[in-house]
Chain A
Amino acid sequence: MKMSQNNADKDDQTSATKKTISLPVSRVRLIMKSSPDVSSINQDALFLTTKATELFVQHLALSSFNNGSGKDTNTLSYSDLAHTAEETETFHFLTDILPKKILARDYLNSLEQMQEEDADF
């Protein structure tokens, strides 16, 4: 049973879905199924999620580049992405996996400050 499912995935990719999507639907299905509540997904829903993920990647990359600091140097860096995750409402759900990087020195300073404030009370 498992074999035939895998084959069907491959056939999907080489035929109908080839022109419209480039991410592998089998992998997207695997990620979707890793969610414990999900029991089954129909073909159209799988196709749409895959396509949506591609649109999402484009949208995230482009808005991070356009609002980022690398426009003059023609670069897209991690900090541009972290900035977008923090500043853009629709990308807020990414803040956990795209945390802003700060220097250890700054972090220690702010930690010290917080402890001082605590001591004051």
Chain B
Amino acid sequence: MAERPEDLNLPNAVITRIIKEALPDGVNVSKEARRAISQAASVFVLYATSCANNFAMKAKRKTLNAGDVLAAMEEMEFERFMEPLKEALEVYKKGQKGKKEVSEQKRKDKEKKTDSENDKSREEEEEEEEERMEEEPEAENEAEEDEEEVEN
């Protein structure tokens, strides 16, 4: 929950960077303009959330999903965002999936190795041990992410 009103602001540094990237090089953005854009972005989030929530409620769902957000964009007449949003979501999903596949593959490879080549040199074994240690924190992250999805 938001405890202070400034919790509902987006970080100025990030907003400034996004503005700079959108405008031609060398454009000067006044401090007042930057603050106004940041506030507008917060209002945009609330407006989009409320539109998306209406779609979820109509369908008698409690959880907002991707379709609700896309429908909200259409209702808000930001159709121009639809294509870039769909593309970004694809990339995002692939990234999530890819991460899982990579660690799965690593684990399988390792199982194979240990099954078939029991006469490994000590050096190789040490190497493998290191890899495994690197992998562990990632596996933990996934567990946490999964848990979060369930909560929501």
Residues of B close to A77: CB separation below 8 A? 30, 32-33
CB distance from B90 to the nearest CB of A (A): 10
Given A44-B89, A65-B27, are A57 and B22 neighbors across the interface (CB < 8 Å)? yes
Given A16-B92, A16-B95, A37-B53, are A53 and B44 neighbors across the interface (CB < 8 Å)? yes
Are A8 and B19 closer than 8 Å at their CB atoms? no
- B36's partner among A42, A74, A81 (CB-CB below 8 A) is A81
CB distance from A20 to the nearest CB of B (A): 5
Question: What 1/0 flags go to A39-65 for Cβ under 8 Å of B?
Answer: 111111101110111111111111011
Are B64 and A41 closer than 8 Å at their CB atoms? yes
Residues of B close to A78: CB separation below 8 A? 30, 32-33, 36
Are A81 and B37 closer than 8 Å at their CB atoms? yes
Are A11 and B33 closer than 8 Å at their CB atoms? no
- B152's partner among A11, A41, A85, A89 (CB-CB below 8 A) is A41
Q: A115 within 8 Å of B by Cβ?
A: no
Given A15-B99, A61-B22, are A44 and B32 neighbors across the interface (CB < 8 Å)? no
CB distance from A9 to the nearest CB of B (A): 8
- Closest residue of B by beta carbon distance from A4: B144
Are A52 and B30 closer than 8 Å at their CB atoms? no
Q: Do most interface residues of chain A lie in helix, strand or loop, or is the interface mixed? A: helix
Residues of B close to A1: CB separation below 8 A? 151
Are A56 and B78 closer than 8 Å at their CB atoms? yes
Interface residues on B, range: 35 or more
Are A39 and B63 closer than 8 Å at their CB atoms? yes
Question: What 1/0 flags go to B29-46 for Cβ under 8 Å of A?
Answer: 110110011011111111
CB distance from A96 to the nearest CB of B (A): 8
The 7 closest A-B pairs by CB, nearest first: A58-B22, A44-B66, A16-B95, A48-B69, A78-B32, A45-B64, A40-B152
Chain A contact residues, CB within 8 Å of chain B: 1, 4-5, 7-8, 11-12, 15-17, 19-24, 27-28, 30-35, 37-45, 47-49, 51-62, 64-65, 70, 73-78, 80-82, 85, 89-90, 93-94, 97-98
Chain B contact residues, CB within 8 Å of chain A: 1-2, 7-8, 10-11, 14-15, 17-19, 21-24, 26-30, 32-33, 36-37, 39-50, 52-53, 57, 62-66, 68-70, 73, 76-78, 80-81, 84-85, 88-89, 91-93, 95-96, 99, 141, 144-145, 147-149, 151-152
